[in-house]
Structure 1
Amino acid sequence: MTATSFDPHALLAESRLGVLATIKSDGRPQLSPVLPYYDRGAGVLYVSMTEGRAKTANLRRDPRAALEVTSPDGRAWATAEGGVTLTGPGTDPLGPEIEALVEYYRLAAGEHPAWDEYRAAMVSDRRVLMTMAVDHVYGTRLG
């Protein structure tokens, strides 16, 4: 990919490892490694996270975030920014909060071999789905 044909949306869609930046209560950034899924067509980025973690608390207080990904060779990067909605945690394995995590998994990885186990784990782990409405994307490819 040449510098003139670089598409940061494509890199976001291909990447399964990124760094999520949220805002701490003192205004400093909180950086967390995450496993994102970017639905380019919908302009939405998803991350599964755990209730009680710093990033989740930060997003409940200030629902803005940025996510940065890099290419495997480290020579390209892309950043997505936007407002965030959190869904969950859920207490019912068949409830809407867990169903949102099931849909996220299907988008990101396809069918799970044991949905009942996945649903139970999402409840016991107190998982939360972050949905970012991406409103700004930028990045570049070096050299």
Structure 2
Amino acid sequence: MTEGPTVSDFDPRALLAASRLGVLATIKADGLPQLSPVMPFYDPATGLLHVSMTEGRAKTANLRRDPRAALEVTSEDGRSWATAEGPVELVGPGTDPQGPEVQALVDYYRAAAGEHPDWDEYRATMVADKRVLMTMTVARVYGQSIG
């Protein structure tokens, strides 16, 4: 029987890189956390974590006011978790489907999911939906595995 990783083998960055569902914590104006479910993409080679979000939502407004965030992911069995913290930058929303703001979202999609079947449609949707790309420079990662 093959055993899972031991606590000493646990790498929270590997869990962060493998996860496509997490909870993003931003800071509300009153100082309390605001939590949002998101679909993150973490690139361990660059130390950057990306999330696509919509302009006008609470998390976007919070990050424009205070550009710090934390993101928590959990393993499918719930026995491991990892948290990334760091400063963020927001790009977008773009108004030109061929503009740099939308290109940043295209680059994010390619890295996270591969090729899209219709890039023109994707670009138009990013503009229409007022999508914004959050990029976190991961300053700290921590977590635990209950092995």
SS at match of 2:20: coil
Distance 1:14 1:132 in 2: 17
1:110 aligns with 2:114: yes
TM-score with structure 2 setting the length: 0.97
Match of 2:86 among 82, 88, 98: 82
**Secondary structure at 2:109's aligned position in 1?**
helix
Q: Secondary structure at the match of 2:138?
A: strand
Determine helix, strand or coil for the equivalent of 2:69: strand
Name the residue aligned to 2:16. Answer: 12
Q: Which residue of 95, 102, 111 maps to 1:98?
A: 102
1:73 aligns with 2:105: no
The aligned residue for residue 123 of structure 2 is 119
Matched residue of 2:124: which SS?
A: helix
Matched residues in 2 for 1:40 and 1:48: separation? 18
DSSP 3-state at the match of 2:139: strand
Residue 103 (structure 1) shift: 0.1
Q: CA RMSD in A?
A: 0.4
Question: 22, 33, 41: which is aligned to 1:37?
Answer: 41
Distance 1:65 1:34 in 2: 13
CA–CA separation in structure 2 for the residues paired with 1:41 and 1:140: 21
Partner residue in 1 for 2:66 = 62
Question: What is the Cα deviation at residue 95 of structure 1?
Answer: 0.1
TM-score, with structure 1 as normaliser: 0.99
Identity, % of aligned pairs? Answer: 76
CA deviations on 1:69-91 (whole Å, 9 max, x unpaired) are 00000000000000000000000
Kindly state the Cα deviation for residue 142 of structure 1 after the two structures are TM-superposed: 1.1
Distance in 1, matches of 2:63 and 2:43, equals: 20
Unmatched 5+ stretches in structure 1: none
State the Cα deviation string for residues 58-108 of structure 1 (Å, max 9, x = none).
000000000000000000000000000000000000000000000000000
Deviation at 1:120, TM superposition (A): 0.2
Structure 1 runs of 4+ with >4 Å offset: none
Distance 2:7 2:56 in 1: 41
